[in-house]
Amino acid sequence: MSATEKVLPSSLGLESADPELTATVLDGLGEVENLLRSAVRSDFEFVDEAALHLVRAGGKRFRPLFTLVAAQVGTGITQHVLASAAAVELVHLATLYHDDVMDEATMRRGDASANARWDNSVAILTGDFLFAHASMLVADLGPDATRVIAETMRELVTGQMRETVGPRADDPIAHYLSVIAQKTGSLIATAGRFGAMFGGAAPAHVETLHRVGDIIGSAFQISDDVIDIASPAAVSGKIPGTDLREGVRTLPMLYALAEDPDPRLAKLLDGPIADDDGVAAALELLRQSPGLTRARQTLDEYTARADAELATLPDSAAREALRLLTRYVVERTR
């Protein structure tokens, strides 16, 4: 299977998009895939293997896809657009290496995580290596892009710190939404900004796509929260209840706890759930709780906000493709 086939955008809701735009974006994704593989090459064989570990594992490539579609709002894909798309994906991959260490994960994208395959030190250093290469790609795009990626990394780290410390005296739901805005929304917002900026879009449209990316990024995390509870493994391809096993309180759980929770659920959500029976019981209670319904309503509210932003862009095939990406975020939870 070719690199291009691995990132076919039909899996992200673009099957009904304009065929010419889809073909252009698909070609661009193939170039980004090649750039990812060449950008992280090292003359030290072990570093080369570790750095390519997650690149080869594939993934949705949602961030570079969003970058390339955003560029179509302007005059289209350029070499700077491709480089920026690769840079945002490298930043994303770097955070995955670090996340797996913090979460003590053993699997990532159907393969052993880097920390499990080697050790924590290798995983952390590999993440740092990818951050460095992302910065090198962006450095060639000029000082404005360099400042944008630095600000984005600051947001990513702040969001992770916010999550690690916890809400303390803050409202847990507001705290959670601020965490996902920084940890997930900020990088997808930068993908939209880079695509529009280097695709020659008008400054007002660059800012619009930055806001759309921020909204879609948070919505993407909320949809993951819903899928982890509501979707059977056969449908989602993921083992449900992962967050429960890790003791992570996601939005449906927080809503359920805030709205007169079942005492059994409150007890189960008090910490990580180690046994399968406990996970199954918690999933059943959450699926029946108002928390899951409220999380879906919040997801709908985010996508409505994204649609309102997109409505300010000129009518075009690119705008329709962006709308389809927004709908995908919701429809993947149904």
In a domain, 9, yes or no: no
Whether 143 and 161 map to the same domain: the answer is yes
Low-confidence ranges of the chain (pLDDT < 50): 1-10, 234, 236
Whether 271 and 323 map to the same domain: the answer is yes
Cβ(170)–Cβ(126) below 8 Å: no
* Maximum alpha-carbon separation in the chain: 58
Locus of tokens 């007002």: 204
CA distance 268 to 288: 15
Residue 241 falls in which region: left (phi positive, over 0), alpha (psi -120 to 50) or beta: left
Whether 88 and 148 map to the same domain: the answer is yes
The predicted structure's pLDDT at residue 107: 63
In a domain, 287, yes or no: yes
In a domain, 288, yes or no: yes
Whether 62 and 192 map to the same domain: the answer is yes
Write down which residue in 149, 175, 200 finishes a domain: 200
CA distance 20 to 94: 33
The predicted structure's pLDDT at residue 231: 77
In a domain, 87, yes or no: yes
Domain that holds residue 193: 18-165+187-200
Whether 146 and 44 map to the same domain: the answer is yes
In a domain, 277, yes or no: yes
Whether 222 and 273 map to the same domain: the answer is yes
Cβ(325)–Cβ(216) below 8 Å: yes
The predicted structure's pLDDT at residue 1: 37
Whether 191 and 242 map to the same domain: the answer is no
53-62 pLDDT tens trace: 877 877 789 9
Whether 160 and 288 map to the same domain: the answer is no
* Residue 87, Cβ density class (10 Å: 0-12 exposed, 13-18 middle, ≥19 buried): buried
Whether 263 and 303 map to the same domain: the answer is yes
Q: Which residues does 119 contact at the CB level (< 8 Å), separation at least 6? A: none
In a domain, 178, yes or no: no
**Local structure of 48: helix, strand or coil:** helix
Whether 120 and 219 map to the same domain: the answer is no
CATH number for position 261: 1.10.600.10
In a domain, 298, yes or no: yes
Whether 227 and 195 map to the same domain: the answer is no
Cβ(65)–Cβ(7) below 8 Å: yes
Q: How many CB atoms lie within 10 A of CB 232?
A: 10
CA distance 82 to 35: 8
Report how many domains make up the chain: 2
CA distance 329 to 305: 13
CA distance 14 to 179: 29
Whether 85 and 193 map to the same domain: the answer is yes
β-sheet bridge partners, residue 111: 108
Cβ(209)–Cβ(72) below 8 Å: no
Eight-class DSSP state of 314:
P
